[in-house]
């Protein structure tokens, strides 16, 4: 038994797609909307026609569903099912399929409700695609990205942001940007955020420090903009974060390097001036007290060679300084053969700063010059002992020059340049003094000095 004719009349004018079939899937009635949704005129005659003849493109899976409902009497539905069209496009249909029963309770056929939802589905798919693109960019971008509420809470962060700050996503979303910003940088950041909320600026960028999980301090480059609601109210901040710790460290190293370079250039200028002043003084004093030009030239050349020897030693040590023993050996090398037993050098390891090494070399050179002319080195049996002691705590150095087995010694009738050079060098460069004894058995000189601490800073030769 079919539904009454009055029902069919109501169905034809229903504002939704409705079709009623008998058990053989032949049309008993259909609404005009059902026809127009399928691209047919609203008055197309359908009664008595087989559904699959009218729409031969009906997929097999739908035909199977029709048979299942007719067989078990259970309703089926789908919120958005794709229905291929002859032109290759896809129509998305929301449908519901239910059996209708006779007065005897038997399944008489099917009732199909349909609604074309193509526009809504495509809009949803477009939105989902946009969200997927956003998620891919947000999660995979090489910089840190975060959505932050107007009160500073982290709403959403990407993986790179978590790597930068050292927290997991779950941990970050329990924090505010105030909590991970270095206290010294917080006021500036907050002031900029307030200006952004007030509309005085459109965006802001700054460099600040984050406190990573565990307390490590890192530098970041931060760019912040504000997203507003349709009502122009603040919705959330978008923060882009880049780890710039390596660049900051490089900048600090560059600044340190520039500072060292300026210091070293100044030091080099000072050393050159001091060396030139020493050479000028040596030339002036040598020429003043020596009337014979040839002898004056010889003395001056010998003193320059002594200065050159220690310069060579300092250059080998990249002007960090030199060992006292090496300075003594270099200073005495021009006066005695390498295999000679006339000179004995002994003492603990002592490191001299460059200025102290130059001064000590000049002092020893003058003492050796005097020994060659008048003292122990003027005879083959003469002997010189150069010994020293050093107190590490007080940095006090005492060096003794003792001559023996040489000619009888008598005090000089006048103070020569050598004596003045020794005393002045010790006093100016080493805050020390020299005590000379002219014992008939041999000349001796006790040098006392206070050495500055060893400096491990690089010199201009290290750059």
The 10s digit of each residue's pLDDT in 4-29 is: 555 666 677 778 889 999 999 999 99
325 burial via Cβ count (<10 Å: 0-12, 13-18, 19+): middle
pLDDT of residue 289: 54
Please give the Cα distance from 288 to 296 (Å, whole number).
Answer: 9
pTM: 0.44
pLDDT tens-place string over residues 130-189: 666 666 666 667 788 899 999 999 999 998 999 999 999 899 999 999 999 999 999 999
DSSP state for residue 4 in the 8-state scheme: P
Please give the Cα distance from 161 to 180 (Å, whole number).
Answer: 12
Place 1 in a pLDDT band, splitting at 50, 70 and 90: very low
pLDDT of residue 456: 45
Check residues 426 and 3 and name the one with the higher pLDDT.
426
Place 460 in a pLDDT band, splitting at 50, 70 and 90: very low
pLDDT of residue 380: 87
Q: Which residues touch 340 (CB under 8 Å, ≥6 apart)?
A: none
Check residues 357 and 347 and name the one with the higher pLDDT.
347
Averaged pLDDT of the chain: 82
In whole angstroms, what separates CA 276 from the centre of its chain? Answer: 45
Please give the Cα distance from 201 to 244 (Å, whole number).
Answer: 24
Q: What angle do CA 357, 329, 384 make, to 5 degrees?
A: 110
Q: Is the pLDDT of residue 268 over 60?
A: no
- Per-residue pLDDT averaged across 304-310, rounded? 61
Q: Is the pLDDT of residue 60 over 50?
A: yes
pLDDT tens-place string over residues 279-300: 554 565 456 556 677 776 666 6
Place 374 in a pLDDT band, splitting at 50, 70 and 90: confident
pLDDT tens-place string over residues 392-414: 988 999 999 999 999 998 887 76
């Amino acid at each position: 038994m079919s539904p009454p004719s009055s029902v069919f009349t109501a169905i034809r004018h229903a504002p939704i797609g409705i079709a009623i079939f008998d058990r053989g899937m032949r049309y008993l009635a259909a609404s005009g909307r059902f026809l127009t949704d399928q691209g047919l005129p609203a008055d197309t005659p359908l009664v008595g026609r087989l559904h699959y003849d009218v729409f031969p493109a009906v997929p097999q899976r739908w035909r199977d569903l029709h048979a299942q409902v007719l067989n078990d009497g259970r309703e089926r539905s789908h919120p958005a099912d794709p229905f291929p069209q002859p032109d290759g496009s896809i129509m998305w249909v929301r449908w519901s399929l239910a059996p209708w029963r006779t007065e005897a309770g038997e399944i008489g056929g099917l009732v199909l409700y349909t609604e074309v939802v193509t526009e809504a589905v495509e809009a949803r798919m477009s939105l989902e695609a946009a969200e997927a693109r956003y998620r891919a960019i947000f999660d995979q971008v090489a910089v840190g990205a975060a959505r932050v509420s107007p009160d500073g809470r982290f709403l959403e962060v990407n993986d790179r942001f978590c790597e930068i700050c050292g927290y997991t996503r779950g941990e970050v979303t329990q924090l505010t940007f105030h909590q991970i910003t270095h206290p010294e940088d917080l006021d500036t950041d907050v002031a900029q955020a307030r200006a952004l909320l007030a509309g005085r600026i459109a965006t802001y960028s700054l460099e600040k420090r984050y406190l990573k999980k565990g307390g490590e301090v890192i530098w970041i480059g931060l760019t912040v903009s504000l997203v507003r609601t349709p009502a122009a109210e603040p919705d959330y901040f978008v923060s882009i974060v880049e780890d710039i710790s390596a660049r900051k460290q490089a900048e600090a190293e560059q600044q340190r390097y520039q500072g060292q370079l300026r210091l070293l250039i100044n030091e080099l200028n000072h050393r050159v001036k001091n060396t030139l002043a020493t050479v000028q003084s040596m030339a002036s004093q040598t020429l003043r007290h020596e009337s014979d030009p040839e002898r004056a030239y010889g003395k001056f050349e010998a003193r320059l060679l002594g200065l050159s020897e220690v310069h060579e030693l300092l250059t080998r040590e990249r002007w960090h300084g030199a060992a006292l023993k090496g300075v003594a050996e270099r200073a005495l090398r021009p006066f005695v053969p390498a295999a000679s037993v006339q000179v004995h050098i002994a003492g603990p390891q002592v490191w001299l700063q460059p200025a102290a090494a130059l001064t000590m070399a000049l002092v020893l050179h003058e003492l050796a010059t005097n020994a060659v002319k008048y003292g122990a080195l003027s005879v083959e049996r003469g002997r010189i002992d150069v010994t020293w002691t050093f107190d590490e705590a007080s940095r006090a150095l005492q060096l003794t020059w003792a001559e023996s087995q040489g000619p009888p010694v008598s005090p000089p009738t006048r103070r020569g340049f050598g004596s003045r050079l020794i005393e002045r060098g010790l006093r100016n460069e080493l805050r020390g003094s020299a005590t000379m004894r002219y014992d008939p058995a041999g000349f001796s000189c006790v040098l006392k000095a206070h050495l500055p601490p060893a400096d491990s800073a690089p010199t201009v030769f290290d750059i």
